[in-house]
A and B are shown apart, each in its own frame.
Chain A
Amino acid sequence: MQVSIEQLRPDLVLGADLSDASGRLLLPTGTVLTEKHIRYCQMWGIAAVDIQVDDPTAVTAEQPIDPEAWAAAEAAVAPRFVLVDRQHPAIAALFAHCVAAAIGQNRV
């Protein structure tokens, strides 16, 4: 669960590794937050952190991706990628991002 820096309070537990913008690890998963950690987040300009949620039902289950919708989005996005190599890791990441964005649009 994403919690903004203003809402952070001691004893919350990090649900994911916390890194700065350049990927430097600041605090590892499972860190039990203290005032000092919260101040550290402020120092690094962290806007929000991932917090473990004790109550599993509170976790908003990720919507499973509908394979058909995904395929349809891929088919829609693919024609614009004819000039580039979709096997290239950067392009593959770009393509996946665009397909996901296309599905997001479909849901709205």
Chain B
Amino acid sequence: MTPRRPEDLIRGAVEVGTIQGMYDRLVQVIDHPLSSASDVGRVIAEDPGLTARLLRLVNSPIYGFPTRIATVTQAISIVGMAQLRDLAIGTSFMRLFSNVPADLADMNSFWRHSITCGLIARQLAAGRREANLERYFIAGLLHDIGRLIFYTRAPMEAATALLDAARTNEPLFQVERRVFGFHHGSVGAALLEQWRLPSVLVETAAWHHTPAMASRFPIEAAIIHVADVFANALAFGSSGEHLVPTFDAAAWELIQFSPEAVSPMLRQVEVQFEHAVNAIMESDA
């Protein structure tokens, strides 16, 4: 029996465990205007894996800060508090999926696609001089997370959808809609909402294939949409989509990015890509 709602799929799907507690405290600390970098640093330091991951990330060429950043407190004062919080949350939640059937999805490939999307989104946002670029990076990182729910909670239907998409040359998200009644965007949004992550992440996940539907964060959704299309074209990894998915020209209009800047931007992403993969995916041990 096919579940009827995304909520049915995510119920008890992922054991968030200590991450939820850490996230809640992080939010509490950051939401307090009198807290400082060292307060945030202290919360993050409770998770040595996260600390190492964040330091790897902020010292990578993605940031290109001239001198070595040795502590989370220092990282906060250089990268920014909200930015570091987003990095902490995004990279922590993405690690919750360990039980994905290997024959259904190559997790490595899945996250490579997600990181590509995040880096492109970050670059597109940088081109617009958006303030918190990490917000876009994380939105890209988590945009396809609904697919992991499909793979773990409904592997049979997920397999059917993958095969159908390959056979019909249809975009996977449309086949999902036929098979499940909704696509991975809705599932991902439901999951992120359940985790009480910022609503911009919920909305970009929900509407990254149909950005015109995003009402609260249209620009952010448009950026993630374009980044996802570009990431699928670069194909450094895949979340299951084997074609470059449908492209919304109106979203492109909305983000005001010059076509001439596309290739230079993608080359920059190519340079950053392996560093980001190493920083995020490397074992915390």
Contacts and interface: CB of A to CB of B under 8 A. Distances in A.
A98 B233 contact: yes
Nearest to A45: B64
Given A21-B126, A81-B233, A89 B259 contact: yes
Nearest to A89: B259
A96 B233 CA distance: 11
A83 interface: yes
A90 interface: yes
A83 B243 contact: yes
A94 B230 contact: yes
B262 A94 contact: yes
B175 to A, nearest CB: 12
Interface in B227-285: 229-230, 232-235, 242-247, 249, 252, 257-263, 266
- Interface residues of chain A: helix, strand, loop or mixed (majority): helix
Interface residues of A, number: 24
Contacts of A88: 247, 249, 252
Nearest to B270: A101
A89 B256 CA distance: 12
Interface string A89-108: 11111111110110000000
Contacts of B242: 80
A85 B127 contact: no
A84 B261 contact: no
B129 interface: yes
A88 B250 CA distance: 11
A105 to B, nearest CB: 11
B233 A94 contact: yes
- Interface residues of chain B: helix, strand, loop or mixed (majority): helix
Q: Interface size class for chain B?
A: 20 to 34
Interface in A7-29: 21-23
Interface in B151-177: 169, 171
A90 B127 CA distance: 15
A97 B259 contact: no
Given A88-B249, A90-B252, A98-B233, A81 B260 contact: no
A65 interface: no
A58 interface: no
Contacts of B266: 94, 97
A47 B262 CA distance: 20
Interface of B: 64, 126-127, 129, 169, 171, 226, 229-230, 232-235, 242-247, 249, 252, 257-263, 266
A85 B244 CA distance: 11
Contacts of B235: 80
A58 B34 CA distance: 59
A23 B171 CA distance: 35
B247 A85 contact: yes
Interface in A31-66: 45, 47
27 contacts: A21-B126, A22-B126, A22-B127, A22-B129, A23-B258, A47-B64, A80-B233, A80-B243, A80-B244, A83-B169, A83-B244, A83-B245, A83-B246, A84-B229, A84-B244, A85-B247, A88-B247, A88-B249, A89-B259, A90-B226, A90-B252, A90-B257, A90-B262, A91-B247, A94-B244, A97-B263, A98-B234
A63 to B, nearest CB: 17
A90 B226 CA distance: 9
Contacts of B249: 85, 88, 90
